[in-house]
Each structure stands twice: as C-alpha cells, then as structure tokens.
Structure 1
Amino acid sequence: MDKPSFIPPTPSAALPQRLPSPPPRRLHSRELLGQDRELEIEHAGQLYRLRLTQLGKLILTK
C-alpha cells in the first residue's frame, strides 16, 4: 500500500491578506425613536417593530 502523501500547509505570507472591515455605523436610539416609544422598520418586505420598554431596553419583534 502506498502511504498517503503529505501536503505541507501554505505559508501565511502566500495567502491573500484581508483588509479589516470598517466599524459598523452607530446611531443613538433617540435618532431612531425620537420622542416615540416604538417604530416600524420594513426590511425585505417584512415589517418589524422596535419598542422601548419601561425599563429602557429595546425589543425588536416581527
């Protein structure tokens, strides 16, 4: 029987380097909600609701 051939790993210098992705945009919840406690977001034909709870937490529901 033949032994399986060993293929050494490619040195990392030969691999293409990925550029770091930019940080995600940041918005304050007040920019989205304004004076309201909830808003609707349409995404890919679906409707979502973003609500601010009495405890100050955000809930996103479909």
Structure 2
Amino acid sequence: MSTNDAIQDLKPEPGPIAAQQQKLIPRLKSADLMQQKREVEIDHEGRIYRLRITQLNKLILTA
C-alpha cells in the first residue's frame, strides 16, 4: 500500500444525510447566470446586489 492509498483510506465517506443535503442545493453554472455579461444585478428583497467577474476571472458580490 502506498502513502497515497493510506491517505485515501483515511477520508470519511459522506453519510446519507450529507449526501442528501448536497442533492438539495441547486447548482448554477456561472455562464448561465451571467448571460455572457461581466456584471449582473440581483434584486434581493428590494436591495440591489452586483455580481461581477473580476479581471482574474473570480466572482465578487457587492451590495
């Protein structure tokens, strides 16, 4: 057994509740959300947030 195999054996398997919770969280692709734009506005309960793609291709959300 190699060291990598031993490390893999130490990782716990997600339990049934954790696996179920992962399925309940919707996952959106940023390209679908951004619609080929660098910035979008999100209205959350009357407050406007801006989601932007930075020059380093990261997402930043500001109020």
The TM-score range, normalised by the shorter chain, is: 0.5 to 0.7
Residues paired across the two proteins, number: 44
- Report matched runs for 1:1-20 at 5 Å: 20=20
Q: Where has structure 1 moved over 3 Å in runs of 4 or more?
A: 19-22
| 1:2-40 deviations in Å (ceiling 9; x for gaps) | xxxxxxxxxxxxxxxxx7544300001000112100000
One-letter code aligned to 1:61: T
Say which one has the larger Rg: 1
TM-score, normalised to structure 2's length? 0.62
List gaps (5 residues or longer) in structure 1: 1-18
Q: Percent identity?
A: 52
| Partner SS, residue 36 of structure 2 | coil
List gaps (5 residues or longer) in structure 2: 1-16
